[in-house]
Structure formats: C-alpha cells, structure tokens
Structure 1
C-alpha cells in the first residue's frame, strides 16, 4: 500500500529523466488543474456510490473519509495559524486552495466578497453571449444578482434560466454559507451598470467586491 503523501511508482512520478533526486528522494508528482478537476469529479462519483451502498462496510468507508477530511482540515488550519495575511491572500488566488478553504470553513474572506468574485469571473463568458450579471448585494444568507440575458432584458425563457442556473451554481460553490441566489429585475435606472461590449477596451468596469 502506498504511504500517505507519497505517490506510487509509475509514469510521471520520477524526475524529467526518470532518475531520483540528488538526495535519493523521488520528487512528488504535481497535478495540473485539469488533473485536479478530473480527480474531484471522480471522488464525487465514488462517494455517491459508497453512500448509496448498503451494509456496514459502506458506512465504515464514509466514516473513514469523513474522519480523514477532518484531520486534513485541522492540518490546513494549523498551517494558516503560522502564516500572515499576505500569504493567506495569495492562497485564495489558487482555485484548489480556495476550494479547500471553503470546504473546511477556513476561508478568510466573507461570503459576499467570494460571491462577488464568482459573478465577476462569469461576466466575460456572459458578455460574449450578449448577457451580463451583477451582484447587487447579500442580504442575510441570500445573494441577489441582477441578470441581463441575450436580447431580452431580465428574463427570456431558457436563456434566462440557463444564465440564472450558472450564476447560482458559481456563487453557492464558493459561498456555501448562503442558501439561495435570487435574480433582481433589471430597471431603467440600472442600465448604466452594464458596460457595452464596444466600451470594454476603453473603460473596463472595476472588479466587484474589492475596495
């Protein structure tokens, strides 16, 4: 059985020339973002299978995963205790570390700021399709987002539903403390909040949720 924290022998676990390091230790294999995403998806699939399987063995497996997650969460918390705010700020810039901090309820940023950043990340893709989104605020545990869908204002059948669902998933993924994401009807007084596509290169909108 492979020791925790040490990759099994196989392709990609050695150095570039397949040799061990200068001290005899084999360098740890690093995962790219696509590899991480694939493994997270696979973990979700396996956990779903285990959770729906009957019997004490399945329950023991779930308990083992839960206990291991709690121990790793404590280890991450102890790491944060030993770094300053500058380092913590750099950690949240990494998508995987950002995800783990949220998972273990250790994220230094409030839910509103995380939600604003999630919406901001979606805006380029929405604008390419003629839509847009803007976080108007968080009230209690509800995020409120103003949506513009392609060519039909604040609501237009499947297009509106698709954008609303994408925004909801993005926000709740980074701010699970929130319970809902509600669309806010667009009004004439708020038209200026959406920057026309031809003006983006001249005067980009400032990032949401930043001072």
Structure 2
C-alpha cells in the first residue's frame, strides 16, 4: 500500500478565523448583485449539501464503533460542522447543559455561579449569580458559549437567581396564632393601664 502524502493540518486556533472570514465573504456575496455572485452562492450551497451528506455518512459509520462518535464530537471543527448540518447526536438540552458545565469553573474563578434553569421553545434559561459590575460581561460570555454548543436556539435568557425565602424561627411554628394574638393584646393593655397614686395597681 502506497504511503499517503502528509496533508497540511490546521490547528483549532487557525480554524476559527477562517470560519469567521467565510461568514463575512458569504455575507458580501449575498449583498452583491449580478449573475456571478448568484453562481458563487449556488456553488457554496451545493458544496455544503455534498459535504453535509458525506459528514452524515461518516457519523453513521463512526456510530458503529465504540467511542469513535465521541471522538468526532470532541473535535472542535467537526463539532461545528455537525451542528451546522444538524447532525449532532446529542439532544439540545444536553448540549446546553454541557456548555454550562464547561463554563462553571471559569465563572467560579471570577466569583460567579451558573445553573441551567431549563430549555423550552428553543430558549435556554440560565441563572447567573455575579457582582453587578461584571454581570453584563459574564452574561455575554454565557450567551456566546451556549450558542456555540446550541446554535439552533432562538435566545439565551440569562437572569439573576431568585432571592431565597425568609427563614421563619422554629419557635414561631409551635405557637398558635390565637394565643400569640392574645399575648400581644394583653401586653398592650397592661402597658396602657394607669398606676394608682399610692403605687398600687
């Protein structure tokens, strides 16, 4: 079997700016009038469909081997393409939960806590406890991370957690309301009763 030539590989750090540039170029093409721009967009759409089908077949084959599909999902570029073509095997809420779990250590280092409230109607609701001065920036970070894992979401709602309910003293739970009212009334009457001139009640 002939040796395969070494193919130049891109590091993850080099992939991200290329994806951003691709989005920018496609955006410019969409705004450019003329048949040439239309043909270019059609070519991109056809390539996307073909590569999407190829990726679907790869995931089908990988699913037959233990751990192979997990390796595909863990690769940043492949995960992006799986999400782009809606081929990611994990359910939406599971991916949102993973994004929250991945963020938790980073946020705790900044003195913040995060929790997934739930996902409903393509809206993820996240609880974020942070100081007021840094809450806005951390909220943007949470939205960006969650949408990276779940781009099909229509919104990511980041809110402060609800305040904890006030604690009721245990002794108050054992006191009957009618007796508590009687004790309060009796004490008020005694305080208002005048003293006799000789000092006797």
TM-score normalised according to structure 2 size: 0.73
| TM superposition shift of 1:65 | 0.7
Q: Secondary structure at the match of 2:8?
A: coil
Partner Cα separation in structure 2 for residue 189 and residue 116 of structure 1: 23
Residue of 138, 143, 146 corresponding to 2:124: 143
Alignment of 1:51-200 (within 5 A): 51-83=30-62, 84=64, 86-150=67-131, 156=132, 159-189=134-164
CA distance 1:92–1:161, shift in 2 (3 Å): same
Counterpart in the other structure of 2:8? 29
Uncovered stretches (5+) of structure 2, i.e. residues with no partner: 166-201
Partner Cα separation in structure 2 for residue 184 and residue 161 of structure 1: 10
Uncovered stretches (5+) of structure 1, i.e. residues with no partner: 1-21, 151-155, 191-211
* 2:19 paired with 1:50: no
Aligned 8 A contact 2:112 2:130 in 1:
yes
Structure with higher helix content: 2
CA distance 1:185–1:35, shift in 2 (3 Å): closer
Q: Secondary structure at the match of 1:82?
A: helix
Partner Cα separation in structure 2 for residue 53 and residue 28 of structure 1: 34
Partner Cα separation in structure 2 for residue 28 and residue 109 of structure 1: 31
Partner Cα separation in structure 1 for residue 80 and residue 3 of structure 2: 33
Higher relative contact order (CA 8 A, sep 6+): 1
What CA RMSD, in Å, does the superposition of the two structures yield over aligned residues? 2.2
